[in-house]
Structure formats: C-alpha cells, structure tokens
Amino acid sequence: MKWSTRVTEMLNIKYPIIQGGLAHLAYSELAAAVSNAGGLGQITAMSLPNPESLREEIQKVRKLTDKPFGVNFAIGQHGRTFADFLDVAIEESVPVVTMTGGNPKPIFDQLEGTDVKKLVLVAARRQAEKAEELGADAVMVVGQEGGGHLGRDDIGTFVLIPQVVDSVSIPVIASGGIGDGRGLMAALSLGAEGIEMGTRFIATKECVHASKEYKERLIQGNENETVVIKRSIGAPARAIINSWTDKILEIESKGGGYEELKDYISGTANQRYIYDGNVDEGFAWAGQVMGLIKDCPTVQELFDTMIRDAENIRGKWAE
C-alpha cells in the first residue's frame, strides 16, 4: 500500500510519521532508527552542550542512515541562543528544521535562501495561522493529551486538528496522544497529512538514553497517571505523576512563583529521573498515550506493527 501525502513528498520519507523533538533523549541512535524505518527522525539541538557537539551528532546520524532527518529547536526553553546551532545545521545540509516554543521568525530569517524545510510545532489555531503567514512549510499541531510542553488552551487533538486543517493551506501534522496504527489512521481522517509522536518513541530500544525505570513507568502506567505542571508560570507541560510533581503542584497552588519552583522544574531534576532512573527525586515528561504503551520494541518493530494495523483498517474501509 502506498503512503503518499504532501508530508511524505515534501520530506522525502516513506511513511508520514515524525519523531518529535525530545529534549535530552533525541540523539543519533533514535533519529537514525526512525529515519531508517521510513519516518523522519530528529535530534534535539538545544539538549547538546554546544554547536560543535551538534555537528558531531549530525555526523553520527549520517553514519547510521542515508535517509532524511531533522534537527529540532525548542526556542527559549533552555535559556540559550540558537543561532550558532542553526548555523551548524545549515553547514551540515540538514534537510529539515523543526521548532517550537517561541516566535519562529528569527529561525526563518536565518534559513532564508536555503532549501531547508521549516516545520513549526504549535498548540493553537491562531499559532498555526501565524506560522503559515511567516512561511512555514508545514505545521505540527499538538493537542492537550501530549507529553512535554503544551498550549495554554487545553484543547484536545481531535478538536484542534480539523480546525487547523480548515484554517491553513500548508500540510498539518497531528501530534499528541498518538501511539499506534489506529491513531495514525484517525489523524489522517481528521485531515492531517502526517503524525508526530513523542512519548511512544521513548519506550523503544533505540531511545538509549532513557533509563529503564522511565521506560518501565511508560509501559506500566495508565492514562490517568500524567499531570500538567508549570501552568502557574505560563508554561504548561505534561509529566508522569509522582511525589515530585505533587510537590510542584502544591507550590503552584500556594502561589509560589518561579523562584520557589526552579529547583523542582530544573533540567537537573528532569535528568535525575530520565537518565538516573530516580523516579522519586525528579520528573519526566509523558503524554496520556502512556496508557496505550505496553512494550518496548525496536523502532522498526513499532513501525511494522503500526503500518500493519493501519493497513488493516484501510483494508476494512475499502471493503
């Protein structure tokens, strides 16, 4: 069965499946595995210590795959400037750049004159319209089910996607709450031309930096075991519930501001959980799709299952 959408054509990939930027987790092994399986893998620029380490990571991806891949920029979330990192991505002829968490215009300006595809991850219809106006090639649109940073409006993927499809003419990629072939088909039915998955890719063999405790929580946990933190400081984000997120919510409910929260929501607290497996002394991002995750396959196995299930659905529809 042929999987052809404007997204597969534009990105030159076999299946319309994109691996989300995953701060501190999306490195060469995962990116290359996703691209080799026929999707678009990504490495996350701002998790790397400096531009030269981004260059090394890009070159590692190239040793592992000859397929297209992307570099993700979470603007402003790491308190660092991205221009030098982006220069490296341009010098290394990375075919796709994705961005989120701020105004994409400076990135677009820097990419002007290149043929790098520009994908913007947004969480609201008006943001999608703005991204199109500024020159995005496609928008990825994340609903409130998603893992990590979210929109402020609490709109779920099923309501958000068709609205964005109706309001922009560039291709829309659905994100948030997708973890299997059914989710892929549902997204396409809503008018999306591709999907982005974050949480599902963490529970794969090639997400080598995620601790086994983190992966185990994703496998064991159900859909009720995530919570949105950091809402009080205007940066809502979905994490796995634990005593650490209870403490964060307690501080937030008492009106504690950034100063009181900062040690609890720091990169160090995140890394204690996701790298060291200390599930009580830190936090980890995950979406509600955690409830659908029951195993830790290789990326190829995940693609095989998803595509088989999706094709079965297509077959049934065609009967």
Binding site for ligand FMN (CB under 6 A): 20-23, 25, 44, 72, 74, 100, 121, 142, 145-148, 175-178, 196-200, 285-287, 289
Q: By C-beta, is 10 or 207 nearer to ligand FMN?
A: 207
Q: By C-beta, is 256 or 270 nearer to ligand FMN?
A: 270
What is the SS3 string spanning the chain? CCCCCHHHHHHCCCCCEEECCCCCCCCHHHHHHHHHCCCEEEEEHHHCCCHHHHHHHHHHHHHHCCCCEEEEEECCCCCCCCHHHHHHHHHCCCCEEEEECCCCHHHHHHHCCCCCEEEEEECCHHHHHHHHHHCCCEEEEECCCCCEECCCCCCCHHHHHHHHHHHCCCCEEEECCCCCHHHHHHHHHCCCCEEEECHHHHCCCCCCCCCHHHHHHHHHCCCCCEEEECHHHCCCEEEECCHHHHHHHHHHHCCCCHHHHCCCCCHHHHHHHHCCCCCCCCCCECCHHHHHCCCCCCHHHHHHHHHHHHHHHHHHHHC
Q: By C-beta, is 147 or 194 nearer to ligand FMN?
A: 147
For the bound state, the minimum distance from the C-beta of residue 122 to ligand FMN, rounded and expressed in Å, comes to 10
For the bound state, the minimum distance from the C-beta of residue 8 to ligand FMN, rounded and expressed in Å, comes to 19
Q: By C-beta, is 4 or 105 nearer to ligand FMN?
A: 105
Q: Output the residue with the shortest Cβ distance to ligand FMN.
A: 198
Q: By C-beta, is 148 or 236 nearer to ligand FMN?
A: 148
For the bound state, the minimum distance from the C-beta of residue 318 to ligand FMN, rounded and expressed in Å, comes to 28
For the bound state, the minimum distance from the C-beta of residue 144 to ligand FMN, rounded and expressed in Å, comes to 10
Q: By C-beta, is 153 or 260 nearer to ligand FMN?
A: 153
For the bound state, the minimum distance from the C-beta of residue 121 to ligand FMN, rounded and expressed in Å, comes to 5
For the bound state, the minimum distance from the C-beta of residue 192 to ligand FMN, rounded and expressed in Å, comes to 13
